[in-house]
Chains A and B, each alone.
Chain A
Amino acid sequence: MNSDTPRPTPDGTPPAGAPAIELRGASKVFRTPSGGEHTAVRDLDLAVGQGEFVAVVGPTGCGKSTTLTLVSGLEEPTEGEVLIGGEPVTGIRPEVGFVFQQDAVFPWRSVLSNVMAGPRFRGVPKAEARERARDWLGRVGLAAFADRYPHQLSGGQRKRVALAQTFVNEPEILLMDEPFSALDVQTRALMSDELLELWGGAHGRGASVVFVTHDLEEAIALADKVVVMTAGPATVKEVFDVALPRPRKVESVRLEPQFIEIYREMWASLGEEVRITRERGASRVA
């Protein structure tokens, strides 16, 4: 499936050409409503190779999501550079797909119409858009639900609609912001497997993925490379390579000794940041 795609070298640079995504000294400062400044991301360096699956983990509220909005072009960095395919990001690029943490499917559109939205927004004729949407609905197993409205679906089904909605645009860059965090544990494992399948089988070579999560197991099971962020303002603390063979099944891969070893190492690194975040929270309350 995906095992024959060219593996990137350990530093994230593919053998030829620029990395798919690169952040160079990127910082993002938000103005708070009270007039103060909040630094969400500070001096962030990160490279994602072509077709590489990178998971980003960090304590809650550390600025992981901001990293994604910078790459997506929804926000611009206050300082530093964000590059996609070697070009600076100045707006939303057509090759980018984004799966949001909360439900972002359009509640007033039927399931099919939701999946058609992307191609229609991009000027694809209606008939072709419908055909592509039906195809993707089939792949996420929702062909029978095409005429339903989102509120008639379960949380997992809605997430599948969101995946189909994103994948139908055939993104080369796939950004995912804790996409499965609102789902129950079983559905989550199932969705992770489905994601890997869609990613590996989509168009021969998988998209370059940045997957934000706070779930270490999820991160290791999915990714080629896991980036551990510091407590906010976020910056890269450590990068771990996950050399587990693909194709992977989430439920079985987590039983492998290598998985457990990586997990232990990563938790030592992440746990420290989580502790810092928690202590800060406690001192703020006190």
Chain B
Amino acid sequence: MSPESVTAAVVTRKRTEGRTEARARAARRRKLVVLGARTLLLVAVLVAWEVLSRNKAIDPFNFSMPSKIWDQLVQWTAHGTAHGSLGEQIGYTLYEALLGWVIGVTGGVLLGIVLGRVRFLADVLGPFIKILNALPRIVLAPIFLILFGLGTVSKVASAVVLVFFPVFFNAFQGAREVDRNLVANARILGASDRRVTLQVVIPSATSWIFTSLHISFGFALIGAIVGEYIGADKGIGLLVMDAQSSFNAAGVFAAMVILAVVALLAEVLLTFVEKRLFRWKPGGPGAER
């Protein structure tokens, strides 16, 4: 290599390095700007709410104000609620939602895969499932209350009926839309029907199923809360009910804040599990190329 070409190469490398660095800096700056804008928006909304409410531009009785909601949260945390500590209420609701979610997901996935694989069952049960899905299933909550009483079972049941259907339909679709080449290949390679289901259909339906898991945890929370709201002796839904009956708008909003935090944490956890499971997918964390 001649000396000129060596220096030329070095210069080019320096230039590209400079460019990459500038690009990285711009990306970092953009991230900060977005984050700043988000914070600003949140603060602006909260301040506007507070100010409008204090000046009676909006009715503080109906809409409460951030400071009162904060006070309510502090009070619940520090002195507990009328039904025991705040942690206990969250624990109950979370337990009901989680149990309902697990049961609903298990049932939905199993039935979805089975119906996706067994044509006859799908043809027989198809219309019934459609009808059940078309019903506003949340009205079943009072029936569950009559059936199972004030305890956790009735809440778990309402969570199950809300979770089951979206998961079922996704699993069913996932099992139906398995790449036919993959199935044919597995069969030629010597896979039995059981092996095809376990090792081809289920893995390829997993991404469909996971899509539904994200939405369905929200549904499980709704099921548990509505169940508690209708009648319970513990839980966040009961706090909402209490706050409502004493015309305490701040209490309702405070309960909403707690629920939002719980739902967000669950979402983060689910995303983490998903990333570990889908290492084989392009664009996933396994794709280091």
A residues in contact (CB < 8 Å) with B: 72, 74, 92, 94, 96-98, 100, 102-110, 117-118, 121-122, 149-152, 165-166, 169
Q: Which residues of B contact A74 (CB under 8 A)?
A: 184, 187-188
Q: Which residues of A contact B190 (CB under 8 A)?
A: 92, 94, 118, 121-122, 169
Q: Which residues of A contact B184 (CB under 8 A)?
A: 74, 98, 100, 104
Return the chain A residue nearest B206 by Cβ: A108
Return the chain B residue nearest A124 by Cβ: B190
For A96, A109, A149, the residue with the greatest tally of chain B CB atoms inside 10 Å of its CB is A149
14 interchain pairs, CB-CB under 8 A: A74-B184, A92-B188, A98-B185, A104-B185, A106-B182, A106-B185, A106-B203, A109-B280, A110-B280, A117-B189, A122-B189, A151-B281, A151-B287, A152-B289
We find that the number of chain B residues with CB closer than 8 angstroms to chain A is 24
B279 within 8 A of A: yes
In the complex, A105 Cα to B184 Cα: how many Å?
A: 11
State how many angstroms separate the Cβ of A181 from the closest Cβ of chain B: 14
Q: Are A118 and B189 in contact (CB-based, < 8 A)?
A: yes
Known contacts A102-B181, A103-B181, A104-B184; A121 and B280 CB within 8 A of each other: no
The 9 closest A-B pairs by CB, nearest first: A104-B185, A121-B190, A118-B189, A151-B282, A122-B190, A104-B181, A108-B280, A121-B191, A98-B188
State how many angstroms separate the Cβ of B280 from the closest Cβ of chain A: 4
Q: Are A107 and B191 in contact (CB-based, < 8 A)?
A: no
Q: Which residues of A contact B191 (CB under 8 A)?
A: 117, 121
Q: Are A92 and B181 in contact (CB-based, < 8 A)?
A: no
Q: Which residues of B contact A151 (CB under 8 A)?
A: 280-282, 287
B286 within 8 A of A: yes
B200 within 8 A of A: yes
In the complex, A100 Cα to B179 Cα: how many Å?
A: 12
Q: Which residues of A contact B289 (CB under 8 A)?
A: 152
A-B contact count (CB 8 A): 67
State how many angstroms separate the Cβ of B201 from the closest Cβ of chain A: 12
B residues in contact (CB < 8 Å) with A: 179, 181-182, 184-192, 195, 199-200, 203-204, 279-282, 286-287, 289
State how many angstroms separate the Cβ of A246 from the closest Cβ of chain B: 27
In the complex, A122 Cα to B182 Cα: how many Å?
A: 17
In the complex, A108 Cα to B187 Cα: how many Å?
A: 17
Q: Are A100 and B189 in contact (CB-based, < 8 A)?
A: no
Instruction: From B181, B186, B287, give the contact of A121 (CB < 8 A).
Output: B186
State how many angstroms separate the Cβ of B288 from the closest Cβ of chain A: 8
**Given A94-B190, A104-B182, A104-B185, 19 additional A-B pairs, CB 8 A:** A72-B188, A92-B190, A106-B186, A106-B200, A117-B189, A117-B199, A121-B190, A121-B191, A121-B195, A122-B189, A149-B279, A149-B280, A150-B280, A151-B281, A151-B282, A151-B287, A152-B287, A152-B289, A166-B189
In the complex, A150 Cα to B199 Cα: how many Å?
A: 16
Q: Which residues of A contact B181 (CB under 8 A)?
A: 100, 102-104
State how many angstroms separate the Cβ of B197 from the closest Cβ of chain A: 13
For A74, A109, A121, A166, the residue with the greatest tally of chain B CB atoms inside 10 Å of its CB is A121
In the complex, A151 Cα to B189 Cα: how many Å?
A: 21
In the complex, A80 Cα to B267 Cα: how many Å?
A: 58
Q: Which residues of A contact B281 (CB under 8 A)?
A: 107, 151
In the complex, A151 Cα to B279 Cα: how many Å?
A: 11
In the complex, A100 Cα to B185 Cα: how many Å?
A: 8
State how many angstroms separate the Cβ of B208 from the closest Cβ of chain A: 13
Q: Are A108 and B189 in contact (CB-based, < 8 A)?
A: no
In the complex, A233 Cα to B279 Cα: how many Å?
A: 44
Q: Which residues of A contact B185 (CB under 8 A)?
A: 98, 100, 104-106, 165
Q: Are A97 and B280 in contact (CB-based, < 8 A)?
A: no
In the complex, A221 Cα to B282 Cα: how many Å?
A: 36
In the complex, A204 Cα to B179 Cα: how many Å?
A: 35
In the complex, A152 Cα to B285 Cα: how many Å?
A: 12
Q: Are B189 and A165 in contact (CB-based, < 8 A)?
A: yes
In the complex, A110 Cα to B280 Cα: how many Å?
A: 8
State how many angstroms separate the Cβ of B209 from the closest Cβ of chain A: 13
In the complex, A103 Cα to B182 Cα: how many Å?
A: 8
Q: Are A149 and B286 in contact (CB-based, < 8 A)?
A: yes
Q: Which residues of B contact A152 (CB under 8 A)?
A: 286-287, 289
Q: Which residues of A contact B179 (CB under 8 A)?
A: 104
In the complex, A152 Cα to B279 Cα: how many Å?
A: 11
In the complex, A92 Cα to B192 Cα: how many Å?
A: 11
Q: Which residues of A contact B195 (CB under 8 A)?
A: 121
State how many angstroms separate the Cβ of A105 from the closest Cβ of chain B: 8
Q: Which residues of A contact B282 (CB under 8 A)?
A: 151
In the complex, A278 Cα to B199 Cα: how many Å?
A: 42
Return the chain B residue nearest A117 by Cβ: B189
In the complex, A97 Cα to B281 Cα: how many Å?
A: 27
Q: Which residues of B contact A165 (CB under 8 A)?
A: 185, 189
In the complex, A66 Cα to B282 Cα: how many Å?
A: 32
In the complex, A109 Cα to B186 Cα: how many Å?
A: 13
Q: Which residues of B contact A106 (CB under 8 A)?
A: 182, 185-186, 199-200, 203
For A103, A108, A151, the residue with the greatest tally of chain B CB atoms inside 10 Å of its CB is A108
State how many angstroms separate the Cβ of A73 from the closest Cβ of chain B: 8
